[in-house]
Chain A
Amino acid sequence: MECVITIELGTNAVRVFAFDLNGNVVASAKGSYPTFHIQPDYSEQDPEQIFITMLYVLKNLITENLQPQRYAVQSICFIASMHSVLAIDKQGAPLGNVITWADNRGKREADELKDSDLGKVLYHATGTPIHPMSPLVKIAWLKNNDKDRFAHTSKFLSIKSYILQQLTGEYVIDHSLASATGLLNIHTVQWESKALEFAGIHSGQLPELMPVFGNPGKLRKEYQKSLGLGANTRVMVGSSDGCMATLGAGVWREDKAVVTIEDSGAVRIVGNHVLRDDRRRFFNYLLAENYYVSGGPTNNGGVVFEWFARQFGDFRVPFDTEQIMENLIHEASRVRAGSNGLLFLPYLLGERAPIWNANARGSYFGLNIKHERQHFIRATIEGILYEVYSIGKILQEHRTINSLSINGSFATIPFCAQLMADIFNKPINMVKNLNSASRGAFLLSAIDMGIYPDFEKAAGSTDYQHTIMPREEDHATYNRYFQIFERLSVKLKDEFEELAALQHGAQ
C-alpha cells in the first residue's frame, strides 16, 4: 500500500503524519523541542535539536507504524512555521540558533522602516507587514547589531531550508515560505532588490526559490538507509504552516475564511489577487501562481486564556492545565453573553492585526459591583474572540465572507466555536481532521501525484463534521459590546505607550 508523509516543523514541536492516498491518517507522531529566551524579546531554537528530533520521530514512525503495515512511502512533504532566520557559515554550519517568528529584537529597525516611504513600497511589493517577525527586519538587525555574525554569514536560511539541506544537500525555499520573509516580491516572484538592499545582502545569500511542488533532490544515501526509504521517495519542498492550514481547512473559495487559534491566531482568506490595503494591516502570502493567502495575525489567542488559567484557575490538581481550563469554561458558560458589560482587551503580548501596536496592553473595562468571578472568565474568552473578529471585520471590507472554517486547539473548544459563530454572525464549519496544516500538505502531495486536478478540487475533498449556526440574540448583544471594544483598542494608544515604557523601565 502506498502512503504520503507530511512533516510539520512547528513552533514547539515537529509533527509527522502518514496519510493513505484517500487522505486517511495512517499514523502520526510528534516530538517537541524547546524555545530559548536568553533576553527579553529574544526567541530562539536549536537547529540541530530540531533536525535530530525530526529524524528521530520520522524514523520511529516508519519503523514502528509504516513498515509493520507494509506501507510504501511515496513522498515526503515539508511545511514549517513562517519567518524563521538561521545564519550559516561557508561550511554550512549554523552561526548561533535559529531566530523564530516570535522574536522581537528588531523592534527599532521595524519601527523606523514602517513609517518610511521605503517601508510602504516594501510592504506592497512583498506582502509581508513590516514587523520584527519579518526576516527582512531580523537580517537588518543582525547587520546593525551583530556585525561579526553578519560578516561571517554565507547564507540566511529558514529552518526548513536548513533541514532540507541536511537531508538532500540542496539549499532551497518554496514560494510561500519565501513570501513571508519580506524579501520576496510577490508580483514578480523574485527576490526584491530594494528589500535585499535594506537588509544588506545579495540574492546569492538566500536559498534557491522553487514552487511549492518543487523537488530539492533525493534523500542522501545515508538517510535512505537509516530511515529505510527507497531512492525514489519524492521529497517535496512544500509550503508554510499558515498557507497549508488554510488549504487543509477546505478554504479555497472566495466567500470563505478560516480562523486558526492556537497560542496565537490568524484569520485567513484565499483569492487570486492580492488585497491592497493602504493602511497595511494584512499579509498577502503567495501559495502558488495567482493564488494568495491573505489575512491578519493576532498574538493573543489561547496563550492569554492559559495565562488566566494559571493565575486564577483552581490548581488543587497539580499540572493538569487542561482540566483547569475545562472547569473555567464550564464556569464561563453559566453567565450570559456579554458578561454583563465587562469587557476585556486581550493585548497581553502587544498586538499585530488589526491595530499593529506592540505597546498595546491588556485591560478589564467596565467593572461594577455585581461582577463575579465567572464574568471575568467569560469576558476573557470574549475579549480574545472580539480581537479575532476585528481582523475578520476588516477583511470583509475587501471580501464577502459567508462562512468560516476553524482550526487550532483554542478555536475548536466547542464553547469558543459557538461564541465565534455568534460574534461573527456566520455559520462555522467544524473540520473533521483537526490538524489542518498537515492535511493541507497531504493535499499538496495528492495534487502533485495527480489524485486531484487542482487546488479547488483538493480543498473540496475536506469533510466537515458539523456546522454551528449563529444565534441572533447573542449576536446583537456581542455586536453592541464589540463597538466599544473596537473603540477602546485605539483610544488608549497614548496610555498604552506611556505604560509600556514604564513597564519596560520597571523590569
Chain B
Amino acid sequence: MNQFLLNQGASQELDGFGHIREIGIRKNTSVQLNSLCSTTTDNIRIYYILDGKFEWFIHDRSHILYPGDLAIILPGQSFGGSRGFVDIGTFCWISIEVKHADNSRRMVLGDWSGLSESDSVTISKILQLNNIVVLSKVKEAFIILQAIKDELFQREIGYTTRVNHLIDELLIFIARQSGRQTNLRRDFPEMFTKMEEALRQNLGHQWTVEEMAALIGLGTTAFSEKVKVFTGFSPLNYLINIRISEAIKLLKKPEINVTEIALETGFYSSQHFSTTFKKLTGYTPMEFRKKK
C-alpha cells in the first residue's frame, strides 16, 4: 500500500472539497517520541488499521487496534497515542469537517452531503449514543476509503459527486456497524434495556422508531416485531408507557405545573398530554392530581 497525504490548503486534489481536511495512508517504521499527542478537533476523524498494532487513547479510554479495525473520533472527542507516539505499522485516515456540532448530539455536515437532515441527525446521535469508537473487522470501510482516494486522484467525470457520496456512504456504514457491533453476541432483552435507558435519559426528545431501532442496530420492521413480542407493545406505545409513568410521578409533586410536565415527558403540548392521559387512565392530569 503506497503512502500518500492530501492536506487541505496544500494539496490541489482537495480543491472544491473544503470539508476534507486530510486524507492519507501512512506507513510508520520507527517510533518518534511525542509524534501523536492527544488532540481534540471539531472534525470527524476516521482511522483504519492496515498493518501493525496501535495503542490509542480515544475519548478518555485506551484501545488497542489491530489490522481491520477502525476508530472514529467525533468532534470534541480527544485522540492520541497511549504513549504519545505513533506505533509501528500502517494506517489510513480521513478527517472531515462538520459545519456545526453542539452538545445535544446534533451534527450538521454541510451542503456537500446528500444525507437528509433527519438521517444526518440520526447518524450523529447513534454514533454518540452507542459510544463505540472502535469497530473491528470492517474491511468494507477501507474499500470505501480507497475509492475516495482513487476518485480524488483520477478526477474522472462526476468525481466531485462520487467523493461526497462515498463519504456519506462511509458514515452510514459506520453508524449501522456500530449498532451491530454493540449488540454482537448479546440478546435482545439486554439490548432493549440499554435502549430503554437512553429513552429515559432524554424523554423530552421526540423519538422516532428509526432512532430507537438504530440504537439496537436493527431495521425498523424487525425492531418493531421484536419489541412487540418482547413487551407486548409497539415501540411508540411502549414509549407512551414510559412517558405517562414519569408524568404520574411528576403529577404527585404539587410544585410542577401540567404544561411543564407535558413538555418534560415528551408530549407536544399540554393538550396532547391531557388527551393521551385521559384515554389511558380515565382521568385528566388535573383530576388525577386531585384524587387520593
Which residues from chain A sit less than 8 Å from chain B, CB to CB?
A: 13, 29-34, 46, 48-49, 51-53, 55-57, 59, 91-94, 169, 220, 222-223, 225-227, 306, 310, 315, 318-319, 321
Contact = CB atoms under 8 A, between A and B. Distances in A.
B contact face: mostly helix, strand, loop, or mixed: helix
A161 to B, nearest CB: 15
B292 A52 contact: no
Q: Which of A46, A94, A310, A318 has the most CB of B within 10 A?
A: A318
A319 B226 contact: yes
Given A93-B252, A319-B187, A46 B281 contact: no
A55 B281 contact: yes
A253 to B, nearest CB: 36
B226 A52 contact: no
B186 interface: yes
A315 B190 CA distance: 15
A327 to B, nearest CB: 15
A388 to B, nearest CB: 24
B232 A13 contact: yes
A135 B196 CA distance: 28
Given A30-B232, A31-B232, A318-B183, A226 B281 contact: yes
Given A57-B232, A226-B281, 19 more contacts: A30-B232, A31-B233, A31-B241, A46-B245, A49-B241, A49-B245, A51-B245, A52-B241, A52-B245, A52-B280, A55-B280, A56-B280, A169-B292, A222-B283, A223-B282, A310-B186, A318-B180, A319-B218, A321-B188
Interface string B241-264: 110111011001000000000000
B185 interface: yes
B188 A319 contact: yes
Q: Which of A33, A48, A55, A91 has the most CB of B within 10 A?
A: A48
Nearest to A222: B282
A497 to B, nearest CB: 30
B196 A56 contact: no
B242 A49 contact: yes
Contacts of B248: 48, 51-52
B193 interface: yes
Contacts of A306: 187
B241 to A, nearest CB: 5
Q: Which of A46, A91, A310 has the most CB of B within 10 A?
A: A46
Given A48-B245, A48-B249, A169-B292, A222 B188 contact: no
B232 A310 contact: no
B223 to A, nearest CB: 10
B39 interface: no
B196 A59 contact: no
A226 B241 contact: no
B153 interface: no
B280 A321 contact: no
19 contacts: A29-B232, A48-B245, A48-B246, A48-B249, A49-B241, A52-B245, A52-B248, A56-B233, A59-B280, A91-B252, A92-B292, A222-B281, A222-B283, A226-B282, A310-B186, A315-B185, A319-B187, A319-B226, A321-B187
A52 B232 contact: no
B244 to A, nearest CB: 5
A222 B285 CA distance: 13
Contacts of B191: 319
Interface string B195-214: 01000000000000000000
A220 B292 CA distance: 11
A46 B197 CA distance: 13
Given A48-B248, A319-B226, A32 B187 contact: no
Interface of B: 180, 183-188, 191, 193, 196, 218, 226, 230-233, 237, 241-242, 244-246, 248-249, 252, 278-283, 287, 291-292
Nearest to B284: A222
B187 A31 contact: no
Contact of A34 (B184, B196, B226): B196
A222 B291 CA distance: 11
Contact of B185 (A46, A56, A227, A310): A310
Given A310-B185, A321-B188, A32 B231 contact: yes
A157 to B, nearest CB: 15
Nearest to A47: B245
Q: Which of A31, A226, A319 has the most CB of B within 10 A?
A: A319
B245 A32 contact: no
Q: Which of B248, B278, B279 has the most CB of A within 10 A?
A: B248
Nearest to A221: B282
A32 B188 contact: no
A32 B187 CA distance: 16
A93 B248 CA distance: 10
Contact of A310 (B180, B187, B242, B291): B187
A91 B291 CA distance: 10
A59 to B, nearest CB: 7
A318 B291 CA distance: 47
Contacts of B287: 222
Contacts of B246: 48
Contacts of B283: 222
A34 B230 CA distance: 11
B232 A225 contact: no
B282 A34 contact: no
B187 A34 contact: no
Instruction: Give the 3 A-B residue pairs with the shortest CB-CB distance, closest first.
Output: A226-B282, A222-B282, A49-B245
Nearest to A16: B232
Nearest to A50: B245
Given A31-B232, A225-B282, A52 B185 contact: no
A194 B280 CA distance: 43
Contacts of B249: 48, 94
B216 to A, nearest CB: 9
A31 B245 CA distance: 14
A132 to B, nearest CB: 23
A49 B243 CA distance: 9
A50 B241 CA distance: 9
Nearest to B287: A222
A223 B231 CA distance: 23
Q: Which of B184, B196, B241, B244 has the most CB of A within 10 A?
A: B241
A310 B191 CA distance: 13
Nearest to B243: A52
Contacts of B232: 13, 29-32, 57
A2 B167 CA distance: 64
A68 B280 CA distance: 19
A52 B247 CA distance: 11
Contacts of A53: 241
B138 to A, nearest CB: 17
Given A13-B232, A32-B230, A319-B187, A56 B237 contact: yes
Contacts of A318: 180, 183-184
Contacts of A29: 232
B261 to A, nearest CB: 13
A172 B53 CA distance: 65
Contacts of A46: 245
A382 B48 CA distance: 47
A227 B196 CA distance: 28
B241 A56 contact: yes
